[in-house]
A and B are shown apart, each in its own frame.
Chain A
Amino acid sequence: MVSVGLWGAVLGRPLLYVLPMVFPAMMAAGAVLGMFVVPMPPIEFGIALSVMVLGGVIAFAFEAPVWLASVIVAMFAIFHGYAHGKELPSAADPVGFSAGFVLASGLLHVSGIGTGLLSSTPHGVVTIRAVGAAIAVVGAWFLFRSVSP
């Protein structure tokens, strides 16, 4: 979530605000798939891949066009939403649960955008790319764990 905001901030307008709008919309779509338990590729794998890829694009300062960045974020949002959606029907307060995770995701995007504002400082770009690299390494570790028996 932080990576989404951070990448949007690095890429600038319009992705600065398009990505935080695409993510909850597609997360809701993913949650609906999860509620109906529609078969999907392994969710943990998709989530781990999202952390690694989004960290990687920040680390390598990949300047994706608007459509490509939106598609990448939308695809990964479906995996995150699916995981939440699968838990939703058995939650004690499903509406509160959905409001909570959407709000938490949104605030993490905002914190990513806030971190992205560092890019205007002298060592900001290097710092942001280092943060992206750290996120990618953690994502690679998640990915390894998700495929290891």
Chain B
Amino acid sequence: MRSGTLPVALLCTALGLALVSASPGATRLRSVLGLAGSAGVAALLPTSRVSPDAIFIGCWISVTATAAIIYLRRQLQLAVAIALSLNAGLWAGMVSSESVSRLHSLSTLLCVLIWVPASALVARYGTVPVKVASSWIIAVAVMAATLQLLPVTPGYLPDHME
């Protein structure tokens, strides 16, 4: 069945990797607060009028865009960091509200903290490891988004084993 855990985890991981290029301190703290706040609000919003497929595909597009930012910018500005965090929180909250376990999905917001080890890696080896990891995330997001466009039974729907 459909789970929001992995989409939210990948979205927050992509955000965490993007925040590596933000100035430490205030920018990252405000971004995390923005992420948590918008995710909390979005998780409580009624989403019955929005198609679950649209929510999930929006989340995958956000994952791709957030991971792609890593290639486009050298230093992440405060406004961009906040915008990315609010966007990530919005989709994370909406996806969580569609998930079987809302709390479990929201707990993966902690993946944003990947910036801590990622910053250490960048300080030692440069931005290459972060760019390679973001290319993996983009690949997964593109495949997951495409799956929703297929005219066949996707794996997250009940199949012959359920």
A and B are interacting partners: yes
Q: Which of B24-32, B36-44, B130-138 contacts A (4 or more CB under 8 A)?
A: B130-138
The interface bits of chain A over 28-59 (1 if a CB of B lies within 8 angstroms of the residue's CB, else 0) are 11011001100000000000000000000000
In the complex, how many angstroms separate the beta carbon of A60 from the nearest chain B beta carbon?
27
Q: Which of B6, B132, B152, B156 contacts A99 (CB 8 A)?
A: B6
Question: Once the chains are docked, how many angstroms separate the CA of A16 from the CA of B129?
Answer: 11
Interface assignment of A142: CB less than 8 Å from any CB of chain B: no
Question: Once the chains are docked, how many angstroms separate the CA of A95 from the CA of B99?
Answer: 14
Residues of B139-162 at the interface with A, using a CB-CB cut-off of 8 Å, are: 139-140, 142-144, 146-147, 150, 152-156, 159, 161
A91 B131 Cβ-Cβ under 8 A: no
Tally of B interface residues using CB under 8 Å: 26
Residues of A48-104 at the interface with B, using a CB-CB cut-off of 8 Å, are: 85, 88-99, 102-103
Question: Once the chains are docked, how many angstroms separate the CA of A27 from the CA of B144?
Answer: 13
B135 A89 Cβ-Cβ under 8 A: no
Known: A21-B131, A35-B147. A98 touches B136 (CB 8 A): no
How many residue pairs at the A-B interface have CB separations less than 8 Å? 86
Chain B contacts for A88, CB-based, 8 A: 143, 147, 155
Question: Once the chains are docked, how many angstroms separate the CA of A20 from the CA of B159?
Answer: 35
Question: Once the chains are docked, how many angstroms separate the CA of A36 from the CA of B148?
Answer: 12
A97 B155 Cβ-Cβ under 8 A: yes
Interface assignment of B7: CB less than 8 Å from any CB of chain A: yes
Interface assignment of A25: CB less than 8 Å from any CB of chain B: yes
Interface assignment of B19: CB less than 8 Å from any CB of chain A: no
Q: How large is the interface on A (under 10, 10 to 19, 20 to 34, 35 or more residues)?
A: 20 to 34
Question: Once the chains are docked, how many angstroms separate the CA of A99 from the CA of B111?
Answer: 15
Q: Which of B136, B140, B142, B147 contacts A89 (CB 8 A)?
A: B147
Chain A contacts for B155, CB-based, 8 A: 88-95, 97
A102 B140 Cβ-Cβ under 8 A: yes
Taking Cβ atoms with an 8 Å cutoff, the residues of B that contact A are: 3, 6-7, 10, 128, 131-133, 135-136, 138-140, 142-144, 146-147, 150, 152-156, 159, 161
